[in-house]
Structure 1
Amino acid sequence: MVNNAAEAYKRQQIMTATPEALTLMLYNGCLKFIDEGIQGVKEKQWEAANNSLQKAQSIISEFRITLDMDYEISHQLMPLYNYTYDRLVEGNIKSDVAMLEEAKGIIKELRDAWAQAMKKARKEKGTQGVQNGSYVG
């Protein structure tokens, strides 16, 4: 019963999240799966490691597919996503924790930058949203 409530809560969070919040959730999920993959490799739990790392790869694939190439930043992100994806694949094949850690570091930096951008955008929206004493959303 508790598990069903937790799942319903998680599902509700996803269904009501903004695109920006969903992106942050995906970055966090990717990091979680990479951590699980690293743990699996260290414990020689090959199947569990592979499953987790494939989930992380799927998230990165989603990032690549959804990049809007009309923006300059997308042309900078694509090679990072490609490189990170390749590190995950190779690290998975070779059971190389260093490669997986490298991929994790890149995703962590991107996640942190995304979180900062969200915070800045909220702050700017908050200060721009108030004009002449009334809120303009």
Structure 2
Amino acid sequence: MQHTHDTTPVQPSESDDQITVVTRDAGAGRVVLEIGGEVDMLTSPQLRTAALAALADDPRVVVLALDSVSFLGTSGLAVLIEVREAAQQAGVDLRLACTGRRVLRPLSIAGLIPMFDVRDTVEDALA
């Protein structure tokens, strides 16, 4: 039995939901959440639950890997803001890893890019 990575998939609550969230322990107090699919009003609660659970484990750094996100709606943006605020209150460094237009464009249109530490890759975000 290997314990190198703790992966905890969050499954959609309904068949129409299209999101995956896998939590991975990257060592040295760093946690990566690999997020894929659509982050909308139906699926954003799963992202919220997984991200806040990761913060509850008292990590030093949490990385939200968003390159596999195919859609980021306003409810997803609201969750990112909530998670950012929770991370700040907990003294956790929250970083976003993404280069995809499907994530960066909504963040940019909403004027949220300056609020987040956005890196090109998970490796950069973990450094």
Q: TM-score, normalised by structure 1?
A: 0.29
More helix by share: 1
- TM-score using structure 2 length: 0.31
